[in-house]
């Protein structure tokens, strides 16, 4: 990776200088995708800063990163450009790519940023070879926005699960739905299928066991193709972390700060009581 200035983080797109929770979520998606692209031609649609395209290019035959932002593309070319990796400025609803030219299309956290969602998936289906497949993600409006009260100013159209599935079904008749949520690790699991893993969840002193987490996903990821036989086989569960355990370390640091603050408050209160006692004794 060649040295280059960091792309400013505005909240619209992820940059690899971000840490902890947001890093877990974004890196996990591309790490998951990287296991499926070996030897394939890949489109990273709305590639942003380029970190994900760069990660995919380690195993892919060739990766094309496309983004609407000229600034992001210029940055990506300077930071990640290589023989296997090409960055182009372009609109994901009007791709400057030939029909049937890609083995895989990857588009993470793009869908919710535009209204023309059917147009985007139409383009993905057009550029995919008949035996190709799509990896796409989108936040679940129910858990991402409704239940938190959070409104992302960069999101144009968030989808509920049934809307996401209906959109996929119009363009890719076969798909498997996965969920993702940060739980000190980033967990990604298949929604409908179980087996192969057991999740243990504590609830008020009781431990529940199941083939999937007891909590709902915050994001949906889908693996889609024209028919079932074209969907590559994947384990139903994927877990992502970093070697430094940065989220857990941050949690521990915050707890330590609260403990130290509690000690300081206790010492202050004790000193106030001592001084109050001295004042009362001098009266």
Any idea where the domains of the chain sit in the sequence?
A: 21-242, 245-283
User: How many angstroms separate the CA atoms of 202 and 213, rounded?
Assistant: 11
Strand partners, 222: 136, 177
**What is the per-residue pLDDT for 138?**
95
User: How many angstroms separate the CA atoms of 118 and 141, rounded?
Assistant: 18
Packing angle of the helix pair 21-34, 246-282 (nearest 10 deg): 170
**What is the per-residue pLDDT for 20?**
44
Please list the rounded mean pLDDT of every run of 10 residues in the chain (283 residues).
Answer: 46 46 79 93 94 92 95 90 93 97 96 96 98 97 92 93 97 96 86 78 74 88 94 90 82 85 92 90 80
Which CATH homologous superfamily contains domain 21-242?
Vaccinia Virus protein VP39 (3.40.50.150)
**What is the per-residue pLDDT for 172?**
97
């Amino acid at each position: 990776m060649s040295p280059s200035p960091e792309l400013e983080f505005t909240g619209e797109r992820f940059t690899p200088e971000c840490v902890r929770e947001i890093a877990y979520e974004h890196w996990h998606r591309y790490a998951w995708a990287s296991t499926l692209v070996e030897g394939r031609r890949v489109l990273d649609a709305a590639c942003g800063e380029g970190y994900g395209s760069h990660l995919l290019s380690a195993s892919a035959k060739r990766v094309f990163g496309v983004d609407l932002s000229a600034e992001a593309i210029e940055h990506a070319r300077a930071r990640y450009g290589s023989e296997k990796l090409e960055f182009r400025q372009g609109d994901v609803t009007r791709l400057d790519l030939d029909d049937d030219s890609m083995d895989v299309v990857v588009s993470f956290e793009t869908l919710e940023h535009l209204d023309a969602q059917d147009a985007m998936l139409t383009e993905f289906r057009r550029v995919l070879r008949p035996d190709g497949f799509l990896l796409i993600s989108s936040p679940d409006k129910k858990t991402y926005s409704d239940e938190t009260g959070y409104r992302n100013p960069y999101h144009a159209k968030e989808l509920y699960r049934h809307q996401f599935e209906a959109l996929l079904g119009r363009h890719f008749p076969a798909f498997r739905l996965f969920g993702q949520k940060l739980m000190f690790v980033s967990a990604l699991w298949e929604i409908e299928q179980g087996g192969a893993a057991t999740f243990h969840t504590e609830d008020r002193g009781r431990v529940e066991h199941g083939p999937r987490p007891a909590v709902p996903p915050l994001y949906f990821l889908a693996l889609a193709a024209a028919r079932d036989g074209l969907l590559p086989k994947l384990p139903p569960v994927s877990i992502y972390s970093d070697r430094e355990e940065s989220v857990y370390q941050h949690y521990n640091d915050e707890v330590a700060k609260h403990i130290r603050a509690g000690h300081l408050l206790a010492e202050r209160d004790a000193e106030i009581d001592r001084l109050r006692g001295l004042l009362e004794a001098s009266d």
